[in-house]
Structure 1
Amino acid sequence: MPKFIDLSHTFKDRMPGFKLKNEDDSYTQYTSEIKPFLTHEQSLPKFDGKASFEITEISFQTSVGTYLDSPYHRYSDNRDISNIRIDEVILPGEVIDVRYKEAFEPLGCEALPKNINVNGKAVLFNFGWDQYWGEETYYSYPYISKELVRYLISQGAKLVGVDTLNIDNANDLYRPAHTLFLEKDILIVENLTGLEKLYNNEFRFFAVPWKAEKVAALPIRAFAEIIE
C-alpha cells in the first residue's frame, strides 16, 4: 500500500493569514469565512422531507492556508493558476532540515547538504515554524536569502516550499524569492506543515490546485507519497 504524508494545514473558518500593512500603519488581516449557504434544515422541504443537503459557502483571499503561488502572483503578464501543468506540481522532492534558524534570520546556501541534486525537484525547507501556527510568533519567521534563491535557480529546482508564512523577508520590499523564482516559472508553496515526517525518505511531492482562471495563488492539499 502506498504511504502518504499530509503536509497541509486544515482550511477552516477565521484561519490565520497575512497581515498586510496599510499606509496609515493599520493592518488588513487575510483570513477565510466558512458558513452554510443552504442548511440541511432549509433544504429538507425542497426534497419533500425525503433528503437533505448542505451547500457550504466559502470566502477567502487566495493566499491563505497551505497554498501555491503562480507566476501571475508577481507578474501580471505571466501564467496564472489555470495554466500550471500537472507535471509541474507533482515532483520528486527533497526536504532540508533548517530548524536551527531563528526569527528574521536569512537562510543561505550553507544549509544545503553537499552533493544534493535539486534539478527538476521540489525543494522543501523545514524551519519548524508550523509549531507556531495560529500564534503571533508565526508572523516573525526566518526566510530564504537572495543568495540561496539564485543558487536554487541555477541548479534547476522546479518548486520551492517552506513551512513559514512567507518565503521572503517581509522587510525586503523587492521580495527576491517571489521576484526571481516566479520570473523563472519556479513555483512557490508556503505554510506547509509536518515536513519532519519526510526525513530519510524518498518521496514525490503533490501541490495540485484547482484549475482556476485569472487566479494568482490558491490553497492546495499538499502531501507526499513515500517511495519504498
Structure 2
Amino acid sequence: MKKFIDLSHDFEDNMPGFKIKNEDGSVTQYTAHIHPFVTHEQSLPKYQGKAAFEITEILFQTSVGTYLDSPYHRYPELRDISEIKIDEVILEGVVIDVRGIEKFNCVDIDVITEEFDLKGKAVLFNFGWDKYWGQEEYYEYPYISERLIEYLINSGVKLVGVDTINVDSSKIMERPAHTRFLKNGILIVENLTGLENLYGKKFRFFAVPLKAKKVAALPIRAFAEVL
C-alpha cells in the first residue's frame, strides 16, 4: 500500500498570510474569506425539498496558504501558473534539515553534503518554522543565503520549498531567491508543514495547482508519496 504524507496547512477563513506595511504606515493583511454563497437551506426549495446543496465562495489573494510561485510572479514576461507543466510539479524530493537556524539568519551551502543528489529534484528546507503557524513569531523567520541560491541553481534543482512564509528575507528588497530561482525556471513553494515526517525516506513531491491563466501564484495541496 502506498503511503502519502500531507505537507499543507489548512486553508480556512481568516487564515494567516503576509502582512505588508504600506507607505502611510498602515498594514495590508493577506488572508482568505470563506462563506456560503448558497446555503443548504436556501437551495432546498430549488429541489422541491428533496435535496439540498451548499455552494461555497472563497475570496483570497493567491499568495496565501501553502502555495506555488510561477515565474510570472516576479517577471511579467515569463510563464504564469497555467503554463507550468505537470512534470515540473511532481518531482522526486529531498528534505534538508536546517532546524536551529534563528530568525533573520540565513542557511548557507554548508548544509549541503555529498549525500544529496539535487539535480532535477524538489529541494525542501525544514526550518521547523511551521510550529509558529498562526502566531506572530511566524513573521520573523530564517531564509536562504545568496551563496546557497546560486549553488542550488548550478546543481540543477527544479523546485525549492520552505516551511516559512518566504524563501527570501523580508529585509532584503531585491528578493534574491525569487529573482534568481524564477528567472531560471525554478519554482518556489512556501508555507509547507510536516517536513520532518520525510526524514530518511525516498519520496515524490506533489505541488499541483489549478490551471489558472494570468495568475502569479496559487495555493496547492502539497504532499509526498513515499517510494
Structure 2 residue matching 1:153: 3-state secondary structure: helix
Structure 2 counterpart of 1:185? 185
Structure 2 counterpart of 1:94? 94
The reply to whether residue 113 of structure 1 matches residue 90 of structure 2 is no
Structure 1 counterpart of 2:69? 69
| Counterpart-to-counterpart distance in 2, 1:127 and 1:39 | 41
Structure 1 residue matching 2:45: 3-state secondary structure: helix
Amino acid at match of 2:86: I
Structure 2 counterpart of 1:29? 29
Structure 2 residue matching 1:91: 3-state secondary structure: strand
* Partner deviation per Cα, 1:173-228 (whole Å, 9 max, x = no partner): 0000000000000000000000000000000000000000000000000000001x
Identity %: 69
* Partner deviation per Cα, 1:132-182 (whole Å, 9 max, x = no partner): 000000000000011100000000000000000000000100000000000
Q: CA deviation at 1:114?
A: 2.4
* Partner deviation per Cα, 1:53-100 (whole Å, 9 max, x = no partner): 000000000000000000000000000000000000000000000001
Amino acid at match of 2:29: Q
Structure 2 counterpart of 1:171? 171
| Counterpart-to-counterpart distance in 1, 2:25 and 2:92 | 42
Structure 1 counterpart of 2:140? 140
Structure 2 residue matching 1:205: 3-state secondary structure: strand
| Counterpart-to-counterpart distance in 1, 2:174 and 2:25 | 19
Q: Structure 2, unaligned stretches of length 5 or more?
A: none
| Counterpart-to-counterpart distance in 2, 1:225 and 1:163 | 18
Amino acid at match of 2:70: S
Amino acid at match of 1:100: G
The reply to whether residue 4 of structure 1 matches residue 4 of structure 2 is yes
Structure 1 counterpart of 2:57? 57
The reply to whether residue 211 of structure 1 matches residue 200 of structure 2 is no
Q: CA deviation at 1:112?
A: 1.3
After the TM superposition, list the runs of 4 or more consecutive aligned residues in structure 1 that deviate by more than 2 angstroms: none
| Counterpart-to-counterpart distance in 2, 1:24 and 1:142 | 27
Q: Structure 1, unaligned stretches of length 5 or more?
A: none
Amino acid at match of 2:135: E
Structure 2 residue matching 1:57: 3-state secondary structure: strand
Amino acid at match of 2:122: A
| Counterpart-to-counterpart distance in 1, 2:140 and 2:223 | 25
Structure 1 residue matching 2:124: 3-state secondary structure: strand
Amino acid at match of 1:201: K
Amino acid at match of 2:150: R
* TM superposition score normalised by structure 2: 0.99
Q: CA RMSD in A?
A: 0.5
The reply to whether residue 194 of structure 1 matches residue 198 of structure 2 is no
* Partner deviation per Cα, 1:113-139 (whole Å, 9 max, x = no partner): 224210000000000000000000000
